[in-house]
Amino acid sequence: MEQVYITTPLYYVNAEPHLGHTYTTVVADTLKRYFQSIDYEAFLLTGTDEHGDKIAQAAAANGSSPKEYADRISDLFRSTWDECGIAYDYFIRTTDTYHQEYVQKILQTIDDAGEIYFGEYGGFYCYGCERFYTEKELVDGKCPDHQTTPDYISEKNYFFRMSKYQERLIDEIQNKPNLIRPERYRTEVLAFLREPLEDLCISRPTSRLKWGIPLPFDANYVTYVWFDALLNYVSALNHRRGAALQDLWPKAQHLIAKDILKPHAIYWPTMLMAAGLPLYDHLNVHGYWVMDSGKMSKSLGNVIRPLDMKARFGMDAFRYFLLREMAFGQDAKFSEEALVTRINADLANNLGNLVSRVLAMQQKYFAGVVQSLDSEWAREDLELSAKFAQAETELNGFMAELQFHRALESVWSALDHANRYIVQTAPFTLIKDPTKQARVGAVLHHLLEAVRTLARLLAPFIPDTARELSALLALSDDALKTPWGQGFAAGHTVQAPRVLFPRIESDAKK
C-alpha cells in the first residue's frame, strides 16, 4: 500500500484559530481523505508551537505561566479541529516531553558532527518577529512588519553552519522541480539562494528568554523557536510510528502559508541534511485570504472564526467555499457575499436540486425502488456516464497538482450535465405515457448512478454531505466503488429526498 504523510504547520499559540489556520487544515484534511479514496495509507499531523518570546510575553500579560497559557490555546486548537471534523491522526505540542527530548537529540547529533559553533552576533532584534534584522532589511530604522524600532542586541550565541549547505540545497531544488510548489514559490526560493546564505543563529540566552528547550550542550541557552518547531514533523512520527518513521518520513507533504516559506524551504531542508535525514517529498505553499475590509485583524473586528462559520453556514458549505474559491498558491478574496453566492448557486441550486429532483421522482414514480437499466443504453445515457468518468479523470489530475478549485469545477461540470440530462430525457413527461415506464425507470437509474458517483467524488471535499448522499441512496462505502450501472441490486430501495443545503435568503447577507 502506498503511503503519504500530510502535515499542517504547528500553529503558534499567540492567536486563536482563524481563517488562515482553518484553510490550511481543511486542505490537509481534504488531501488525506483524497489519498485514502485512492487507496493510500495516509497519516495527518497537526498541533501547536508553544515556545518563544511572544508566548512568554502574552502569558505574562495574561497573568498566567507560559505553560498554562499554552495549554489553554492549544486545547482551543484541538477542540476546534475536533468540532470541524478534521480527521487528524495525531496532535503534537512542542511542549510534549518526547518532542523536547528529540530536539535535544538532534541538536546533539548536529553539534557532534561539528555543524554548530559559538560566536558573537549583533543585530537589530524585533521581539514581535522573534528575529534579528540587518540594517538593510529595516525600513526607516523600523521592523517592516511591526513598524517598531528594534533593539540593537549584541550577544554570544550558537550558530548552525547553514551556509555550508547552500549548493546542495540548490541542487536538490533544481533536481526535483516540484519539491517546492507551486512554481512561483520555488522560483522565489531559488532567487533568494542566489545571494550567499548565512549561518543560522539557533540559540537565545536564558538571561533574555527562559521559555524554550535548553541546549543539550549549554544550559545557559534555549533553542531558537524555529529549530524547535520544525523538528516536530519528524519527532511526532518518531513518537507515534517508531519503525514506520523511515518509510513514512520521505513521503511527507507539508502544507504551509507563504509567510513561513523561508523557514520551511531553507532552514528545514538544511537542518535535515545536517541531521542525516532525507528531505520531505513536497512543500506545498498557499497564498493569503484577503478580506474586503483589508488585512484580517482583531482591531478591525474582521477575524473569521471557523466555529462561527460552521454554526452559521454548516461546515461542508464553508469547506466547499474555501476549496472552490482559492486557487492554491494564489491569494483569494473572502467575503460573506461570495460565500452566500457559492452556497446558493453551487450547493443549494445545482447539487441540492439535482439530488432532490432525482429522489423525488424515484419516490413518486416507483416508491423508491430502483428499476432496471435498458439492455441497450441510449446515446444520452452513454454521454452522461462518460461525462462523470471524465470528471473523475480530471479530478485525479488536478488533485495531484493541488488544484482543488479545478477538481471541483470538473465535478460541477458533470453535475451541470446531469441537470441537462433531466431536461433532455424529460422523465416527468414520459411518465404520462404508459408504454414509457421502463424508460423512465432506466433514466432515473442513470441519475442515481450520477448521485452515487458524486457521493464518491465529493467525499474528500464535503465529507458530511457525501455521507448523507450514501445514506439517501442506502448504500455502504464499498458500494460506492463499483462501476456505473452496477451500483444498485434489483429491488434496491432509496430514500425520499431531504434538503441538503437550504438556500440562504438575501436578508442573511450583510
- Measured at the alpha carbon of residue 332, what is the angle toward residues 331 and 338, in degrees to the nearest 5? 175
**146 lies in the site for Zn ion, by CB under 5 A:** yes
The yes-or-no answer on residue 201 being catalytic is no
HSE, CB side, 13 Å, CA atoms: give it for residue 171. Answer: 6
How far apart are alpha carbons 240 and 99 in whole angstroms?
Answer: 11
Residue 141: CB minimum distance to Zn ion, A: 13
Instruction: State the virtual CA torsion across 177, 178, 184, 190 in degrees, nearest 10.
Output: -50
Q: Is residue 76 near Zn ion by the rule CB under 5 A?
A: no
Residue placing its CB nearer to Zn ion in the complex, 148 or 187: 148
126 catalytic residue (yes or no): yes
Catalytic hit among 32, 143, 239, 446:
143
Segment 351-410, which members bind Zn ion (CB under 5 A)? Answer: none
Distance of alpha carbon 463 from alpha carbon 473, whole angstroms: 15
- For residue 171, with 0-12 CB atoms within 10 Å meaning exposed, 13-18 middle and 19 or more buried, which class applies? exposed
* Residue 128 Cβ vs Zn ion, minimum distance, rounded to whole Å: 4
Which of 75, 112, 145, 331 is the binder for Zn ion (CB under 5 A)? 145
Active site residue 298: yes
Which lies closer to Zn ion via its Cβ, residue 124 or residue 461? 124
Nearer to Zn ion, 128 or 205 (CB): 128
**Per-residue x/- marks for Zn ion, 450-479, CB under 5 A?**
------------------------------
Q: What is the closest distance, in whole angstroms, from the C-beta atom of residue 62 to Zn ion in the complex?
A: 21
Q: How far is CA 37 from CA 45, 243, 471, in A?
A: 18, 25, 18
Catalytically annotated residue among 129, 142, 262, 405: 129
Can you give 72-133 as a three-state secondary structure string?
A: HHHHHHHHHHHHCCCCCCEEEECCCHHHHHHHHHHHHHHHHCCCEEEEEEEEEEECCCCEEE
Burial of 141: CB neighbours in 10 Å, binned 0-12, 13-18, 19+: exposed
Touching Zn ion, residues 113-142 (CB under 5 A): 126, 128-129
- Segments in 131-276 forming alpha helices (H): 166-175, 183-192, 225-229, 232-241, 245-248, 261-262, 268-275
Could you tell me the smallest distance in angstroms from the CB atom of residue 356 to Zn ion? Answer: 53
Q: How far is the CB of 153 from Zn ion (least distance, A)?
A: 14
Nearest to 291 by CA among 329, 337, 260: 337
To the query of whether residue 239 is one of the catalytic residues in this protein, the response is: no
Q: Which of 32, 54, 99, 126 is catalytic?
A: 126
Question: Could you tell me the smallest distance in angstroms from the CB atom of residue 343 to Zn ion?
Answer: 38
21 noted as active-site residue: yes
Q: Does 250 bind Zn ion (CB under 5 A)?
A: no
Binding residues with Zn ion: total (CB under 5 A): 6
User: Whose grid coordinates read 439517501?
Assistant: 472
Say which of 176, 210, 298, 333 is annotated catalytic.
Answer: 298
Tell me if residue 492 is catalytic: no
Give yes or no: 254 in active site: no
Residues taking part in catalysis:
18, 21, 126, 129, 143, 146, 295, 298
The residue ranges that bind Zn ion (CB under 5 A) are: 126, 128-129, 143, 145-146
